[in-house]
C-alpha cells in the first residue's frame, strides 16, 4: 500500500425525505483494493455517485492527489483519473469492442474516425491486461464475463488512477471471477487505487486489503481485511449476528407426495431431456454454472419459452402449460432472476405490485378494493420486513432487495403450490438474505414445494433438501443434502466442460 | 474454455449474417420483383419505365436516408412527409410570388427542413418527450403551416421551359423528348455514400448508434448525448428538405394538405432495409435498398394490371413481412 | 341498368336547365335598387378574382349593388365566418357565399335565415345547411364538364378512329373513385365518348377500375370492341401514383387519347410524358391528352401543344350567375339550383377574354 490518493471526508447528501449520506468518510491508498460494504440502501452507490460527479454533495470535501476537487459530471471525473466499472454493464451492444472502449473519445482521422487505430490501441490494452479478446468483435456477441473485461479495459484506457468496481462478480462464472481477480491484482501492482463493492463475503476476504463498512447512510468503520473475520464485517454491516450454516439433512417428511413431475423436457439447446420430481414441502436446489440451462428450464416449465417436447404433471395429473398464464392457473409461481424486466412493474406502487397476480380477489364489483389491497400489502411488508415508507410507494424507489421482497409477496399472495425462486438473493444484502431464507424455510414447512435456482454454493448448501446439478442443458446429477459437498457439486457442474 | 470460444465464434457468424444477411435478401427481392414485373408486363421493362421509377423514388430515398438516423436512435420522425410538402410549398411560394431566385428558394426549403428537425430534436432530446408524439405534432403543424403560408393553393416551381427551370435538370437531363438521363440517381448514390460514411465512421454516426444501443451508457461515457440526439433529427429534417427539392423537381404542382403517408414509405423502406424498429442497428445502404422494394411495388403493380385496392393490400403485406423479419430476428437475439 | 337510366335522366335534366340559364340570363332585370353581399373563398387568388370580375360586370349590367369580399386564404375559415356575420348585420337583399368550410358557416346560415336574408351558394355546397336558408346552389356540372372533354377529344380523334384497322385505346386517369366531383367528370367523359363513337358505328368497351366500369352507361365487351376506354385510379391520391398509372396506360401502343379528370391527374399524365414524350396536338403522330382545371404546368403544356386541351370550370360564369340568381330572388321569382358548364380551352383559345380569367396558376 502506498500513500493516500483519495480522501472523502464528512460527505453529506440528502434527497427529499431521505438522508442518504450522513457524514461519510472514505480513504483509498495507491496500490490497495479497498472494499466498500454495506447492506442495500446503506449508501454505497450514492457515495460513489458523489465521487464520480453524478450527484453533488451537500457537505464535505473530496481530496484527490492532494488537491481538493469537485466533479460536475462523469467526464470530469474520468479526465481526472477516477473511473467506475458499473454493476449493470454499460455496453453498446451494436458496436464493436474497440468502439465501446473508446466511445466518447474516438481517434480522429480527417473528418472521420480512425477505427484501425482504435483496434490497435484496444489490442494493446488487452495485452496489458493479459486478456484474449478480439477488438473487432461485436459487443453483444461476447459472454457477460468478457463484456466485463472490456469494461475494465475501458476504465484503464482512461489513464485511471482510481477504479471503482461496483459488484463486478455478480454475473460472472467461477472461472471468470478468477480471471477478474488476476486483473485486479495486476492493477494493484501497478499502484492504482481500487474501490471494490460486493456482497460476496468470500471475495472480500480473498481480494481486498481494507474494508470500509457503511450502514444506513452512515460510516461505521474501516478494518484491515487480514485482521478481521467474516463475522466481524457482517456484524458491522447489520448490527446483529448471522450464521451461515449448511443444512445437514433433508427436512422433507418421509413419503411426502410428489407435487411437480417433469419428464423429458426439451426446449432448445439449453434444456435437454430434463426430468425431475419435486415433493411437497421440499426445497429443491438447482445448481450449476452460468449458462447451464437452469433458468431456461424454469422458463420452459413456466411456459415463458416454448418447449419442443416433454410432459409436466401437477399432483399426478398431466397438465398443459403453454403460457405463464397456464402455469399460474396450475399453481406455479416464478420469481425471475431479472426483476426489473420480468418481476415487477417499477412505476406502480408496492401494493399494486403485491396484488398484481391476484387482482381478482381484490375487486368489489368492477372496482379495486384499495383498502383491502393495501392491508394485504402491508401484512407482507411487515412479514418480509420490506423497507418502504409505505405501501403506496412506487417500486422504482426501492432498493434491489426490497424490490425482490415485493416480488416474493406477489407470489405468496397468489398462494401458489410450486414456487420457482430464480437467484432469489442476487444483489440483496446479507440481512435481507437471511430473512428471505427464513421465509423460504417457513413456506416449505407449510407444505409449499420450492425450486431454488442459485449460483451461490453457500446458498445451495444452506437451503436445499435435495440438489439437482445441471451442465450445458442436461441434468448431470442429483444429490441429497446429506451427501452434498461443495466439491461433488462442482464436479457435476463441470462434468462436460473439463 | 475451448467450448466457449467456439460458441463465441458461432455467434459472431450469426451477427455477420444479421448485418449483411438482410441486405442480401432485399437485393434478391429487388431482382425477383424486377424480373417478375418484366416478365408480366412488356411495358415495364422499357427504359422509360426505369427512368420513371427512379424519378418517383428520389424523394422517398432522400427521406429514408435522413429518417434512418432517428430510427437508429430508437426514435422515429413522422414529420418528414408533410414537412416535405410544407418546405416545398414555402420555397416555391417565395420563387413564384416574391421573386426569389430558384437557388434561394431551394436554400430556404432545405433550411426550413433543418429548422423543423432542430425543433423535433430539441423536444425529444432536451424536453424528453417521446419522438412519436413530438413528430406526430410537427407532422400536423407542418401540414397546416405550409397551407397557411402559401394561402391554401397549389404551388408550382418553375417548369422546365420557364426561367429557373434549370433546377429540374439536376435530377434528369433531357437529350430529346424521348431520351432522358436519370442523373438524379448519381446524386442520390453519392449522398448514400456520404451518409454511410457519416453513420459508420464519424462521431455523429457512432453516437447515433450509441444512443440507440444504450443511451445511458453513452451518457456515462461523457458524450454530449443531447447534442447528438438532436443531430439525428436535424439530419432527418435536412434530408426531408432535400427530398422536397427532389419532389418539386420531378412533379408539377405541390398541393397543400398532401404529404401524409410519404413518411411511412420512407420508414417502411428503412425497416425493410434492416433498420431495427427498436434502434441501434441499421444502415443507409439498407434503407436505400428497402425503398427500392417499395418503389418497385408501387410502379410494378399497376403495370401488371392490379387495381388500386389490391396494390394497397400487397404493399401492406410486404411491409408486415419486413417488420416480421425484424421481430423474429429480435426474438432470436433474446435467446 | 338503374345507373344507366339515372345517367340519361341526369343528362336530360342538365340540358334543360342549361337552356334555362341561358334563357333567364337574357331575361333578368332588377326590379329595384338591390344590395347584395358576396363572399368568395379567397380574395387573393386569380381563380376567385375571376369570380369577382363576373360579379362586377353583371352588377353594372343590372344596375344593382354587389359588394364582394373574401379572406386572404381558403384556410382562413374564421375570417370568412366573420365576414359572413358582418354581411348579415348589414341586412342586404341577398348573400352570395362560396363557403371555405361546410361546418363553420352553419350557425351563420341559420342567422341569415332568421333575419330573412336569402343565401345563394356558389362553387361549393353546404350539405347540412339549415332547411330553407339556401335558395340556390350554383356549381360546376361535373358530369357535363367531363362530357365536354369527351366531345372535344372525340372530334379531334374521329378520323383516326374511323380509319383504324385495329382496336384503339382511350385512357382516363382519375385521382380517386369516391368524391362526387371526380367520379362525375370521369363518368361524364366515358359516357359521352361512348355515345359519340356508338353514333358513328363503333363499339366501345370500358375496362380498368371497378367503380367506373360498373357505373358507366355501358361497359361493353372488350374482346369485340373497336375502342377500349381504360380507366385508372391510383392506390393513393398522390401525384406520383397518378403518374405511374398514367405511364402504364401511355406505354400501350394502341393508345390515341387520354383524359385526366382533375389537376393532379392531368399533371400526372404530363409527368409521365416527361419520360415518354408521346403527347402532342397532331392525332396522326402523337397521343392527344385532355386535362382539367389549370395551374402553371397545365397552362404551359396547353400553350406549347403538349396537352391538346383542357376543361376549366368557370368562376367568371359563376360570378355572373350568382348576381343573376340573387336579383331574381329579390324580384320575388322562384329559383332552382344552377349547374354551370365546363369550358374547353386549347392553345388557340387559352388567351381569350372569356377563358383567360378562369385559368389560375
The residue-averaged pLDDT of B295-310 equals 85
Which pLDDT value is given to residue B299?
A: 87
SS3 B25: helix
Choose among B8, B216, B221: nearest Cβ to A142: B8
Which three three-digit cell numbers place residue C340? Answer: 354551370
Between CA C285 and CA A133 the distance in angstroms is 73
| Chains in contact with B, where contact requires at least 3 CB pairs less than 8 Å apart | A, C
Q: What domains are there in chain A, each with its CATH number? A: 4-238 (3.40.50.300), 258-493 (3.40.50.300)
pLDDT digits (tens, 9 = 90+) for B134-178: 999 999 999 889 888 887 778 889 888 788 888 988 898 888 777
**Gap from B26 CA to chain A (nearest CA, Å):** 21
Superfamily per CATH, domain C142-313: Response regulator (3.40.50.2300)
Yes or no: say if C62 and C28 are a contact pair by the CB < 8 Å rule.
Answer: yes
Q: Which residue does chain B place closest to A54, by CA atoms? A: B220
Please check whether residue C189 is in contact with residue C172, taking contact to mean a CB–CB distance below 8 angstroms. yes
Which positions in chain A touch B221 (Cβ < 8 Å)? 74, 90, 103-104
In degrees and rounded to multiples of 5, residue B313 shows phi and psi of: -60, -45
pLDDT < 50: residue spans in chain C: 1-25
Task: Give percent above pLDDT 90 in chain A.
Answer: 31
User: Of the candidates C233, C240, C263, which has its C-beta nearest B56's C-beta?
Assistant: C240
Pair C53, C357: CB distance under 8 Å: yes
To test the contact with chain B by mutation, choose from A104, A106, A495 the residue with the greatest count of B C-beta atoms within 10 A, namely: A104
Both ends of chain A: CA-CA distance in Å? 38
Of C263, C274, C304, the CB nearest to B253: C263
Q: Is A290 on the interface with B (CB under 8 A)?
A: no
Chains B/A: 3 or more C-beta pairs closer than 8 A? yes
Q: Give yes or no for B328 touching A (CB within 8 A).
A: no
CB-based contact B302 C234, cutoff 8 Å: yes
In chain C, ranges of CATH 3.40.50.2300 domains: 25-140+316-341, 142-313
Q: Report the candidate in C318, C314, C322 with the shortest Cα–Cα distance to residue C66.
A: C322
pLDDT surpassing 80 at residue A46: yes
Lowest-confidence segment of A247-251, A276-280, C4-8, C168-172 by average pLDDT:
C4-8
pLDDT value, residue A159: 84
- Average pLDDT over all residues of chain C: 87
Record the cell numbers describing residue C359, joined without a space: 385559368
Confidence of residue B316 (pLDDT cuts 50, 70, 90): confident
pLDDT band at residue B334 using 50, 70 and 90 as cut-offs: low
Q: Is the pLDDT of residue B222 over 90?
A: no
- Taking the CA of residue A49 and the nearest CA in chain B, the distance in Å comes to 11
Question: Nearest-CA neighbor of B103 among B171, B167, B170, B184?
Answer: B167
Tens of pLDDT along A318-343? 999 998 888 888 889 888 776 655 66
C276 touches chain B (CB under 8 A): yes
**Mean local confidence (pLDDT), B279-298:** 91
Q: Is C274 on the interface with B (CB under 8 A)?
A: yes
CA atoms of B225 and B220, how far apart (whole Å) = 9
Measured between CB atoms, which of A103, A143, A146 is closest to B221?
Answer: A103
- Residues of B within 8 A of A102 (CB-CB) are none
User: Can you give the residue ranges of every domain in chain B?
Assistant: 22-334
pLDDT of residue B81: 95
Query: Do β-strands A82-85 and A210-215 pair in parallel, antiparallel, or remain unpaired?
Result: unpaired
Strand partners of residue A83: A163
Question: Which chain B residues are within 8 Å of C74, Cβ to Cβ?
Answer: 151-153
CA angle A31, A173, B5 (to 5 degrees): 105
- Chain B touched by A86 (CB under 8 Å): yes
* Confidence label for B246 from pLDDT (cuts 50, 70 and 90): very high
pLDDT of residue A87: 65
Q: C297 near C267, Cβ under 8 Å?
A: yes
Name subunits touching C (3+ CB pairs < 8 A): B
Q: State the pLDDT at residue A427.
A: 67
Cβ-defined contact of C236 to B162 (cutoff 8 Å): no
Q: Which residues contact B309 (CB under 8 A, 6 or more apart)?
A: C235
Contacts of B203 in chain A (CB under 8 A): 106, 113
Q: Has residue B4 got a pLDDT over 60? A: no
Mean pLDDT across chain A: 85
B143 touches chain C (CB under 8 A): no
Question: What local confidence, expressed as pLDDT, does residue C31 receive?
Answer: 86
Q: Do A113 and B3 touch (CB under 8 A)?
A: no
Best residue in B207, B220, B281 for a mutation probing chain A (most A CBs within 10 Å): B220
Interface with C, mutate which of B307, B310, B315, B316 (most C CBs under 10 A): B307
Binned at pLDDT 50, 70 and 90, residue B263 comes out as very high
Q: What is the pLDDT of residues B55-102, one digit of tens each?
A: 899 999 999 999 999 999 999 999 999 999 999 999 999 998 899 999
Q: What is the pLDDT of residues B93-133, one digit of tens each?
A: 999 889 999 999 999 999 999 999 999 999 999 999 999 99
More confident residue, A458 or C201: C201
CA A221 – CA C226 distance, rounded (Å): 104
CB contact under 8 A, C360 and B153: yes
Check contact B-C (3+ Cβ pairs < 8 Å).
yes
CA-CA distances (angstroms) from residue C311 to A265, C145, C291? 76, 7, 6
Distance from CA of B211 to the nearest CA of C (A): 35
Average pLDDT over chain B reads 87
pLDDT tens per residue across span A340-390: 556 677 778 888 888 877 777 777 777 777 888 888 888 888 877 787 888
A to B CB pairs, distance under 8 Å: 75
Please give the share of chain A, as a percent, with pLDDT higher than 70.
Answer: 92
pTM: 0.74
Residue A88's pLDDT band (cuts 50, 70, 90): low
The CATH number of C25-140+316-341, from 3.40.50.2300, 3.30.70.100, 3.40.50.300, 2.60.40.10, is 3.40.50.2300
Contacts B7 to A, Cβ<8 Å: 143
| Residue A175 pLDDT exceeds 70 | yes
CB of A90 within 8 Å of any CB in chain B?
yes
Selecting from C45, C241, C263 the residue whose C-beta is nearest the C-beta of B298 gives C241
Q: Which of C:205-244 have CB within 8 Å of B?
A: 208-210, 232-241, 243-244
Binary contact (B8, A141; C-beta < 8 A): yes
The CATH number, out of the four listed (3.80.10, 1.10.10, 1.10.3470, 1.10.287), of the domain defined by the range B22-334: 1.10.3470
Query: What pLDDT, on the 0 to 100 scale, is given for residue B6?
Result: 38
Q: Can you give the pLDDT at residue A170? A: 67
Amino acid at each position: 500500500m502506498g500513500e493516500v490518493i483519495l480522501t472523502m471526508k464528512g460527505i453529506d447528501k440528502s434527497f427529499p425525505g431521505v438522508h442518504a449520506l450522513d457524514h461519510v468518510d472514505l480513504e483509498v491508498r495507491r496500490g490497495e483494493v479497498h472494499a466498500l460494504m454495506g447492506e442495500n440502501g446503506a449508501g454505497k452507490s450514492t457515495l460513489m455517485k458523489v465521487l464520480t460527479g453524478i450527484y453533488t454533495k451537500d457537505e464535505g470535501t473530496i481530496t484527490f492527489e492532494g488537491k481538493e476537487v469537485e466533479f460536475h459530471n462523469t467526464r470530469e471525473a474520468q479526465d481526472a483519473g477516477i473511473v467506475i466499472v458499473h454493476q449493470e454493464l454499460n455496453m453498446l451492444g451494436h458496436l464493436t469492442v474497440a468502439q465501446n472502449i473508446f466511445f466518447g473519445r474516438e481517434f480522429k482521422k480527417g473528418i472521420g474516425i480512425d477505427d484501425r487505430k482504435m483496434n490497435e490501441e484496444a489490442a494493446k490494452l488487452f495485452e496489458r491486461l493479459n486478456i484474449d479478446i478480439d477488438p473487432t468483435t461485436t459487443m453483444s456477441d461476447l459472454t457477460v464475463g468478457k463484456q466485463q473485461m472490456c469494461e475494465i479495459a475501458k476504465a484503464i484506457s482512461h489513464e485511471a488512477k482510481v477504479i471503482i468496481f461496483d459488484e463486478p462478480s455478480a454475473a460472472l462464472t467461477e472461472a471468470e471471477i478468477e480471471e477478474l481477480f488476476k486483473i485486479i491484482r495486476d492493477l494493484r501492482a501497478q499502484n492504482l487505487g481500487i474501490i471494490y463493492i460486493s456482497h460476496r463475503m468470500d471475495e472480500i476476504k480473498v481480494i481486498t486489503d481494507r474494508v470500509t463498512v457503511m450502514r444506513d447512510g452512515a460510516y461505521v468503520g474501516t478494518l484491515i481485511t487480514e485482521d478481521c473475520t467474516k463475522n466481524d464485517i457482517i456484524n458491522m454491516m447489520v448490527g446483529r449476528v448471522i450464521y451461515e450454516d449448511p443444512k445437514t439433512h433433508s427436512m422433507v417428511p418421509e413419503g411426502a407426495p410428489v407435487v411437480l413431475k417433469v419428464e423429458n423436457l426439451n426446449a432448445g439447446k439449453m434444456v435437454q431431456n430434463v426430468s425431475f420430481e419435486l415433493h411437497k414441502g421440499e426445497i429443491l436446489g438447482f445448481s450449476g454454472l452460468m449458462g447451464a440451462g437452469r433458468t431456461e428450464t424454469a422458463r420452459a416449465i413456466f411456459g415463458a419459452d416454448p418447449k419442443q417436447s416433454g410432459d409436466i404433471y401437477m399432483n399426478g395429473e398431466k397438465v398443459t402449460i403453454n403460457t405463464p398464464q397456464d402455469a399460474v392457473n396450475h399453481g406455479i409461481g416464478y420469481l425471475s432472476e431479472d426483476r426489473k424486466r420480468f418481476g415487477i412493474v417499477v412505476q406502480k406502487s408496492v401494493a399494486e405490485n403485491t396484488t398484481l397476480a391476484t387482482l381478482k380477489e381484490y375487486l368489489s364489483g368492477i372496482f379495486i378494493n384499495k383498502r383491502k389491497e393495501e392491508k394485504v400489502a402491508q401484512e407482507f411488508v411487515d412479514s418480509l420486513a420490506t423497507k418502504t415508507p409505505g405501501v403506496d410507494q412506487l417500486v422504482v424507489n426501492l432498493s434491489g432487495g426490497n424490490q425482490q421482497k415485493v416480488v416474493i409477496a406477489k407470489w405468496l399472495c397468489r398462494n401458489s403450490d410450486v414456487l420457482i425462486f430464480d437467484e432469489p438473493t442476487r444483489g440483496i444484502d446479507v440481512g435481507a438474505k437471511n430473512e428471505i431464507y427464513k421465509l423460504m424455510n417457513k413456506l416449505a414447512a407449510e407444505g409449499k414445494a420450492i425450486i431454488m435456482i442459485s449460483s451461490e454454493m453457500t446458498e445451495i448448501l444452506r437451503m436445499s433438501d435435495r440438489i439437482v446439478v445441471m451442465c450445458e442443458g442436461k441434468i448431470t446429477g442429483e444429490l441429497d443434502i446429506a451427501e452434498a459437498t461443495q466439491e461433488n457439486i462442482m464436479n457435476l457442474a463441470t462434468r462436460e466442460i473439463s | 474454455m475451448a467450448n466457449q470460444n467456439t460458441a463465441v465464434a458461432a455467434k459472431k457468424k450469426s451477427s455477420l449474417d444479421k448485418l449483411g444477411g438482410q441486405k442480401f435478401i432485399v437485393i434478391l427481392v429487388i431482382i425477383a420483383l424486377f424480373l417478375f414485373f418484366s416478365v408480366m408486363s412488356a411495358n415495364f421493362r422499357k427504359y422509360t419505365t426505369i427512368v420513371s421509377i427512379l424519378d418517383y423514388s428520389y424523394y422517398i430515398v432522400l427521406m429514408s436516408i435522413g429518417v434512418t438516423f432517428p430510427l437508429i436512435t430508437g426514435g422515429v420522425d413522422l414529420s418528414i412527409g408533410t414537412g416535405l410538402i410544407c418546405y416545398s410549398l414555402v420555397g416555391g411560394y417565395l420563387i413564384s410570388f416574391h421573386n426569389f431566385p430558384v437557388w434561394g428558394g431551394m436554400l430556404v426549403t432545405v433550411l426550413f427542413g433543418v429548422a423543423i428537425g432542430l425543433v423535433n430534436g430539441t423536444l425529444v432530446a432536451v424536453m424528453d418527450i417521446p419522438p412519436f408524439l413530438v413528430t406526430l405534432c410537427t407532422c400536423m403543424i407542418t401540414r397546416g403551416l405550409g397551407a397557411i403560408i402559401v394561402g391554401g393553393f397549389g404551388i408550382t416551381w418553375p417548369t422546365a421551359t420557364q426561367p429557373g427551370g434549370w433546377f429540374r435538370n439536376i435530377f434528369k437531363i433531357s437529350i430529346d423528348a424521348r431520351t432522358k438521363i436519370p442523373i438524379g440517381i448519381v446524386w442520390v448514390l453519392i449522398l448514400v455514400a456520404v451518409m454511410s460514411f457519416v453513420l459508420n465512421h464519424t462521431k455523429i454516426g457512432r453516437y447515433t448508434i450509441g444512443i440507440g444501443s444504450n443511451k445511458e451508457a453513452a451518457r456515462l461515457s461523457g458524450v454530449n448525448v443531447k447534442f447528438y440526439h438532436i443531430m439525428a433529427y436535424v439530419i432527418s429534417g435536412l434530408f426531408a428538405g432535400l427530398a422536397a427539392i427532389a419532389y418539386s423537381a420531378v412533379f408539377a404542382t405541390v398541393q397543400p394538405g398532401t404529404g401524409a403517408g410519404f413518411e411511412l414509405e420512407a420508414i417502411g423502406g428503412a425497416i425493410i432495409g434492416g433498420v431495427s424498429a427498436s434502434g441501434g442497428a441499421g444502415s443507409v445502404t439498407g434503407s436505400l435498398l428497402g425503398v427500392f422494394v417499395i418503389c418497385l411495388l408501387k410502379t410494378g403493380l399497376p403495370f401488371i394490371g392490379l387495381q388500386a385496392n389490391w396494390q394497397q393490400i400487397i404493399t401492406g403485406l410486404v411491409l408486415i413481412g419486413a417488420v416480421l423479419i425484424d421481430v423474429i430476428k429480435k426474438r432470436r437475439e433474446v435467446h | 341498368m338503374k345507373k344507366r337510366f339515372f345517367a340519361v335522366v341526369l343528362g336530360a335534366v342538365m340540358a334543360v336547365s342549361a337552356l334555362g340559364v341561358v334563357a333567364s340570363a337574357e331575361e333578368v332585370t332588377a326590379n329595384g335598387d338591390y344590395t347584395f353581399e358576396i363572399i368568395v373563398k379567397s380574395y387573393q387568388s386569380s381563380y376567385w378574382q375571376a369570380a369577382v370580375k363576373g360579379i362586377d360586370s353583371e352588377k353594372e349590367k343590372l344596375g344593382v349593388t354587389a359588394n364582394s369580399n373574401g379572406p386572404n386564404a381558403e384556410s382562413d375559415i374564421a375570417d370568412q365566418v366573420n365576414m359572413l356575420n358582418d354581411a348579415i348585420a348589414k341586412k342586404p337583399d341577398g348573400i352570395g357565399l362560396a363557403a371555405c368550410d361546410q361546418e363553420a358557416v352553419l350557425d351563420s346560415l341559420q342567422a341569415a335565415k332568421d333575419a330573412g336574408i336569402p343565401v345563394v351558394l356558389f362553387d361549393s355546397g353546404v350539405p347540412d345547411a339549415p332547411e330553407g336558408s339556401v335558395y340556390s346552389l350554383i356549381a360546376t356540372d361535373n358530369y357535363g364538364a367531363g362530357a365536354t372533354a369527351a366531345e372535344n377529344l372525340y372530334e379531334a380523334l374521329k378520323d383516326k378512329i374511323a380509319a383504324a384497322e385495329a382496336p384503339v385505346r382511350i385512357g382516363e386517369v382519375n385521382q380517386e373513385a369516391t368524391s362526387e366531383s371526380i367520379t362525375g367528370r370521369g363518368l361524364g367523359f366515358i359516357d359521352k365518348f361512348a355515345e359519340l363513337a356508338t353514333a358513328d358505328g363503333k363499339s366501345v368497351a370500358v375496362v380498368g377500375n371497378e367503380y367506373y366500369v360498373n357505373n358507366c352507361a355501358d361497359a361493353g365487351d372488350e374482346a369485340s370492341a373497336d375502342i377500349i376506354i381504360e380507366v385508372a385510379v391510383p392506390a393513393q391520391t398522390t401525384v406520383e401514383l397518378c403518374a405511374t398509372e398514367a405511364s402504364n396506360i401511355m406505354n400501350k401502343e394502341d393508345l390515341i387519347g387520354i383524359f385526366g379528370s382533375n389537376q393532379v391527374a392531368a399533371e400526372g399524365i404530363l409527368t409521365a410524358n416527361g419520360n415518354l414524350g408521346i403527347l402532342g396536338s397532331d392525332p396522326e403522330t402523337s397521343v392527344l391528352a385532355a386535362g382539367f382545371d389549370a395551374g402553371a404546368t397545365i397552362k404551359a403544356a396547353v400553350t406549347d401543344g403538349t396537352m391538346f386541351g383542357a376543361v376549366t370550370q368557370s368562376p367568371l360564369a359563376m360570378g355572373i350567375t350568382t348576381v343573376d340568381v340573387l336579383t331574381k330572388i329579390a324580384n320575388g321569382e322562384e329559383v332552382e339550383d344552377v349547374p354551370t358548364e365546363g369550358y374547353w380551352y386549347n392553345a388557340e383559345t387559352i388567351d381569350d377574354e372569356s377563358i383567360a380569367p378562369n385559368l389560375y396558376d
